[in-house]
Amino acid sequence: MPIFRVLIKSLPVITGGLFLCVMNTADAEPRAYITNQGENSVSVISLMTNQVISTIVTAKAPVGVAIDDIEHKLYVSNVESRSISVINMKTNAVMSEIKLKIAPVGITLSKSGRQLFVADWFHDQVLVFDTTTLNQTGAVAIGKAPSGMVVSHEGATLYVANRDSDDVGVIDIRSQKLVNKISVGKHPFGVALGGDGKTLYVVNVESNSVSMIDTRKDIVVATISVGEHPYCVTTNADGTRAYVTNTGADTVSVIDTVAKKVIATISVDGFPEGVAFDAKSSRVYVASWMDNAVSVIDAKTNKKISSIPTGSQSRAFGQFIGNITN
């Protein structure tokens, strides 16, 4: 398995994400993993049928999601239990639980899957865990109230949205050092990288905007107004479109990233939070906190085509679409 990882890491990124490039094949089944904070569960949705095929019981108040497609492991942050659930994606069974002293929300994985990053917004730091031993191996001081995180495509850099200091922290993963801070709008929360990894999108909740950051220079190149109280963001495979959930308007803003402007606004289920793009179907999936559902958007027409009932208070904060291979 470690050899397989090395081979995968050597392939070029051409679809907007390392695992999408490798795993979106004929024998891979894409699934969405939707955390339901109100009922302590994860709804597993087959994106081939758009139906819930399993419900996984977690610890209390699950919110954040991180997926290791190669090892088929799902990581879920549990706010009230102060823990991270580690779930086998093939059996949908909880394998173990990492106990914490904090209430975690944002989580993400290194490209190798060997490190788990946990945002500690109570102590303004990012915790680092070894996913083999499940032991903490480090902590990196960051800005105030870190929330959304994403790892660069080459795997060397971790970008962290610092909600209460209105900036993005740039961490060198190898040295576990903060190397830069980039000022953005007010209360940054959700983050995502574009298709080639050269642009970082940061949602500014109280500014009702999205900052576009050139990751080669660590500078903001554009600020785009979106809907009321935006929360999370994702992009399509080639990065030409970005999709932003607006919790205060029950909509998704579609951004043309080349023109740097909103080209469509799509009504979705109530209080949309987590959002992810499925390259295989060219659809966008949006978790609805208010309506306990996932809205499905056809990315070709920018129309909502269906709603999938899930559990109470669906959030799915993070990249929640994974692939199961036989």
Residues 6+ apart with CB under 8 A from 96: 85, 86, 134
pLDDT mean across residues, the chain: 92
pLDDT band at 28 (very low <50, low <70, confident <90, very high): confident
Identify the pLDDT of residue 26. Answer: 52
Give the CATH number, domain containing residue 226: 2.130.10.10
Number of domains in the chain: 1
Cα 246 to chain center, whole Å?
Answer: 16
Identify the pLDDT of residue 125. Answer: 98
pLDDT digits (tens, 9 = 90+) for 121-143: 999 999 999 999 999 999 999 99
pLDDT digits (tens, 9 = 90+) for 226-273: 999 999 999 999 999 999 999 999 999 999 999 999 999 999 999 999
Average pLDDT over residues 271-295: 97
Identify the pLDDT of residue 13. Answer: 31
Identify the pLDDT of residue 120. Answer: 97
Surface-to-core class of residue 289, CB atoms within 10 Å of its CB (0-12 exposed, 13-18 middle, 19+ buried) = buried
Identify the pLDDT of residue 102. Answer: 96
CB 284 within 8 A of CB 234: yes
Which domain does 315 fall in, by range? 2-325
pLDDT digits (tens, 9 = 90+) for 47-83: 999 999 999 999 999 999 999 999 999 999 999 999 9
Question: Residue 147 phi/psi, 5° resolution?
Answer: -130, -95
pLDDT at residue 181 tops 90:
yes
pLDDT band at 25 (very low <50, low <70, confident <90, very high): very low
Strands 107-109 and 219-225, by their bridges, are unpaired
Identify the pLDDT of residue 325. Answer: 85
pLDDT above 70 as % of the chain: 91
